[in-house]
């Protein structure tokens, strides 16, 4: 199976954003605890990380699902997640609530839903694509950023081409996606970073 192009990955992420990520991010823009907890649950299911959070650490203790996670990430602001070192500490804090399990990847996914920038999602398939052998988040972040800088023009060009594909994107809340909408998100750094994520996940899965 060939590695998918940035064009393919940009369109794939556009549809993924419309059908998934935008709802998680929107929930964290507000102050509704129920919506945030639902977003955490949905992220855990969609990203395949729910199994890392055994029910015995929340629901079986009569605590609402993912309350321990929400209480932790709600404390932090953008400046608290701007380095791999800081994110590792948050992952350790969340891990402490769930039996000391390794939760770096899950933590970055939850934090991305809240902040987008400056969080980089830590993923096993991307690790393979980047040639990262250790579990060190700092090494992963350095390699990921190097890869993004190397491929930034290719990613940006692919995102520009999305404007011509608006008729083929899935509907957004029942409405056809416009060029203006695609332009408003595809020019954002966070969107382009997620395009690279999709590219790396595909490459690492070969």
- Residue 122: alpha-carbon gap to chain centroid: 8
Helix 84-96 and helix 137-160, axial crossing angle in degrees, nearest 10: 110
Average of per-residue pLDDT across 137-150? 97
pLDDT of residue 205: 86
- Residue-wise pLDDT for 50-78, tens only, equals 999 999 999 888 999 999 999 999 999 99
Using DSSP's 3-state secondary structure scheme, residue 172 falls into strand
45, pLDDT greater than 80: yes
Provide the residue ranges of all domains of the chain, joining segments of one domain with +: 6-204
Average of per-residue pLDDT across 22-51? 97
23, pLDDT greater than 90: yes
Q: Report the C-alpha gap between 4 and 73 in whole angstroms.
A: 34
Q: Report the C-alpha gap between 120 and 125 in whole angstroms.
A: 14
Using DSSP's 3-state secondary structure scheme, residue 108 falls into helix
Q: Could you tell me where the DSSP H helices lie in 47-136?
A: 67-73, 84-96, 104-115, 124-130
pLDDT of residue 3: 66
pLDDT of residue 206: 76
């Amino acid at each position: 199976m060939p590695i998918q192009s940035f064009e393919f990955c940009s369109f794939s992420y556009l549809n993924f954003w419309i059908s998934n990520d935008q709802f998680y991010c929107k929930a964290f823009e507000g102050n509704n605890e129920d919506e945030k907890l639902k977003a955490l649950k949905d992220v855990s299911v969609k990203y395949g990380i729910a199994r890392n959070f055994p029910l015995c650490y929340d629901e079986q203790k009569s605590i609402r699902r993912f309350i321990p996670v929400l209480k932790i990430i709600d404390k932090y602001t953008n400046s608290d997640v701007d380095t791999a070192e800081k994110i590792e500490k948050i992952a350790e804090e969340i891990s402490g609530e769930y039996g000391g399990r390794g939760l770096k990847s899950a933590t970055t996914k939850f934090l991305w839903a809240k902040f987008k920038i400056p969080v980089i999602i830590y993923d096993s398939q991307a690790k393979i694509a980047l040639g990262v052998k250790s579990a060190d988040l700092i090494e992963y972040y350095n390699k990921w950023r190097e890869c993004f800088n190397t491929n930034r023009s290719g990613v940006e060009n692919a995102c520009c081409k999305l404007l011509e594909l608006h008729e083929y994107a899935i509907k957004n809340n029942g409405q056809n996606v416009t060029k203006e909408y695609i332009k408003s998100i595809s020019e954002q750094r966070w969107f382009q970073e997620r395009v690279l994520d999709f590219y790396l996940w595909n490459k690492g899965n070969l």
